[in-house]
């Protein structure tokens, strides 16, 4: 395992402290999310939206957006509305994923799922509300970025969450449940769309906001696709090896639902090897960038996380 708290930097530079960086960015993201959605009438829907949005988590997606924007010459201020939006979209996907019609889960991030607290009807609407507001929030709050780039961000986010992204991956995932002959190609399709597409949008949107050159955006697309797939492989491994307390959600759900996973096809050892290979490929894409320490450390964190 690679220690990610203090990564060795080139001579003359201090080691990069990922824990301190993540903590600082989490505080900034939490404050922005908290102020983004006040509770007004009808209170129940705003409370339900805030319940899941502010339930904690690593805030990996918004932090990836912020880190990429900074690395490619942008600022936190220009990226924060998009960073909040990707967390709103991600939270929507979790609320809907946990519903009885989908994964039927009772716990998320260590607390009861949205539908267990507010009912299925309000949970569906809370997810819908977060999804719609994410796009409004980017359009209304992004400052000092040309309108063309803001439009590109909105387009990327829409693609990542729609039938060409998360929704399409979720449909194939549902269709594959209980099937014994799910191929690795189908499994890759599911997770390239269901998991990696939004992670890719986080990174790419950060670069678009900073007006990064097309070649840099393409490198960052590949970086994000690789860490996205590695993230899912590690998730599948943890579903087998971690406890509910470590995960903050029900452990062993994939096996119970008879879902195809990377360990079910490759075994644990090969799954770990494949995840490491993806991270190695991701890191190679960052070679030309100067201020890459956060993205390097986050990639290594993904492979070494325990929850």
CB 35 within 8 A of CB 113: no
| Structure confidence at residue 3 (pLDDT) | 39
62, 257, 305 from 33: Cα distances, Å:
10, 33, 24
Q: Where are the alpha helices (DSSP H) in 210-285?
A: 214-241, 244-247, 253-256, 262-266, 268-285
- Extract the tokens encoding 101: 């019609």
Q: Is the pTM of this model over 0.85?
A: yes
Could you give the 3-state DSSP secondary structure of residue 107? strand
Domains of the chain: 18-304 (1.10.600.10)
**pLDDT < 70 stretches in the chain:** 1-14, 243-258
Residue-wise DSSP of 64-96: HHHHHHHHTT--HHHHHHHHHHHHHHHHHHHHH
Tokens 């009861």 correspond to what residue? Answer: 112
- Cβ count near 105 (within 10 Å): 18
What CA–CA distance (Å, rounded) separates 217 from 214? 5
116 sits in which H/E element: helix 114-118
Reading the block at residue 41, the tokens are 């009438």
pLDDT in tens, 24-74: 999 999 999 999 999 999 999 999 999 999 998 899 999 999 999 999 999
Write down the pLDDT at residue 291. 92
Res 254: pLDDT: 61
């Amino acid at each position: 395992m690679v220690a990610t708290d203090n990564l060795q930097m080139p001579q003359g530079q201090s080691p990069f402290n990922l824990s301190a960086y993540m903590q600082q960015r989490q505080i900034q993201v939490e404050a922005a999310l908290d102020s983004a959605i006040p509770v007004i009438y009808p209170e129940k829907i705003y409370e339900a939206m805030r319940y899941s949005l502010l339930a904690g988590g690593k805030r990996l997606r918004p932090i990836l957006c912020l880190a990429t924007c900074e690395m490619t010459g942008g600022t936190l201020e220009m990226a924060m509305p998009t960073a909040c939006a990707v967390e709103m979209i991600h939270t929507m996907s979790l609320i809907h994923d946990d519903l009885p019609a989908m994964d039927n889960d009772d716990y998320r991030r260590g607390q009861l799922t949205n539908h267990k607290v507010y009912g299925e009807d309000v949970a569906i609407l809370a997810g819908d509300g977060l999804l719609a507001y994410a796009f409004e929030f980017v359009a209304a709050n992004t400052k000092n970025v040309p309108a063309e780039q803001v439009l590109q961000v909105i387009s990327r986010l829409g693609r990542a969450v729609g039938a060409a992204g998360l929704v399409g991956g979720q449909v194939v995932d549902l269709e594959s449940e209980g099937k014994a002959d799910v191929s690795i190609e189908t499994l890759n399709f599911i997770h390239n769309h269901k998991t990696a597409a939004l992670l890719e949008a986080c990174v790419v949107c950060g670069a678009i906001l900073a007006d990064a050159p097309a070649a840099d955006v393409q490198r960052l697309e590949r970086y994000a696709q690789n860490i996205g797939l590695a993230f899912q492989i590690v998730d599948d491994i943890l579903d087998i090896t971690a406890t509910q307390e470590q995960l903050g959600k029900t452990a062993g759900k994939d096996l119970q639902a008879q879902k195809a996973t990377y360990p079910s096809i490759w075994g644990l050892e090969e799954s770990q090897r494949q995840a490491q290979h993806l991270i190695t490929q991701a890191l190679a894409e960052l070679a030309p960038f100067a201020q890459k320490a956060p993205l390097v450390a986050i990639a290594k964190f993904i492979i070494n996380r325990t929850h």
